[in-house]
Amino acid sequence: MVTGKRVSRGQVTVARALSKLGAASRARARELIAAGEVTVNGHPVTDPGAWLDPREDRLAILGRPVRPGDSVYLMMHKPRGVITTRSDERGRATVYELLPAEPQGVFPVGRLDKDTSGLLLFTNDTRFGESVTNPLSRTGKTYRVVLDRPLRDEDAREIASGMILKDGTRLRPAKIVQDRAPGSYLMTITEGRNRQIRRMCVDLGYDVAALERIGIGGVELGALGEGAVRALTEEEVLLLTEREVRGISRRAKSFRKKKIVTSGKRGRAGR
């Protein structure tokens, strides 16, 4: 039974229940509830703060029962021009259109802006998603950055030492390495501020001609084709979870017992 306040220890909020069951992130759960897509015991729920008991109440999204299931960990090569959202009122292509067959509750782990291509992770495991995106984990994200001209030495040193953006935001030091061509660099950052690399380069007076994420932690995009999707291997999942604690924790070991799920298909190209 849904209640306005907590009346038993087994109760959690509707949004929390969806998150704990791996159906959606907290933010996505609130969106689903606001849209009237969530029901409890057959009745629509519009308050994400309403309380229920997952052991007794029947929770559903668009009529589909929400139950604990296998954890899913996917990698996508997001094309440029595709946006990281479920739907777009302007009709632009979204990353969800590239998923071969959406497993229940998967959500993107972080975001890539419309003009950035490359590695994007998906999961229905909220703890995994939060651990990868949490700034405290210092998970490195590596990008191939193509600028309109080569970086000056002093600008490269400023990026590497931890620059301060024009709006006053202080950034952690970033690793920067010359790539294969003049004006092309590999940059690794350990925080996920909005459009961080673009803002860094623009503040230093450069135009970003192309930006592609090629790695997260020790997981690399590799030869995955643009618009394609594959499951992470068990080793890749463990690599990301173990990096957070600099060694195998009890939590990381628990991932060995989880089944990694994929449809066995690939998404279509998204240009």
- Residue of 104, 98, 142, 147 lying closest to 123 (CA atoms): 104
Helix, strand, coil % over all residues of the chain, rounded to 5: 25, 25, 50
Under 8 Å between Cβ of 219 and 119? yes
- Residue of 69, 118, 76, 124 lying closest to 100 (CA atoms): 76
One of 47, 70, 113, 148 is an active-site residue; which one? 113
Residue 143 is classified by DSSP as E
Going by their DSSP bridges, the two strands 73-78 and 64-65 should be labelled as unpaired
Return left, alpha or beta for 63; rule: phi > 0 is left, psi -120 to 50 is alpha, else beta: left
With 0-12 / 13-18 / 19 or more C-beta atoms within 10 angstroms meaning exposed / middle / buried, residue 140 is middle
**Amino acid, res. 217:** G
The tokens describing 261, both together, are 């799920």
Under 8 Å between Cβ of 80 and 95? no
138/55 Cα distance (integer angstroms): 36
Residue 217 is classified by DSSP as T
Which positions ≥6 away from 9 have C-beta within 8 Å?
Answer: none
Q: Is residue 53 among the annotated active site residues?
A: no
> Which residues are annotated as catalytic?
113
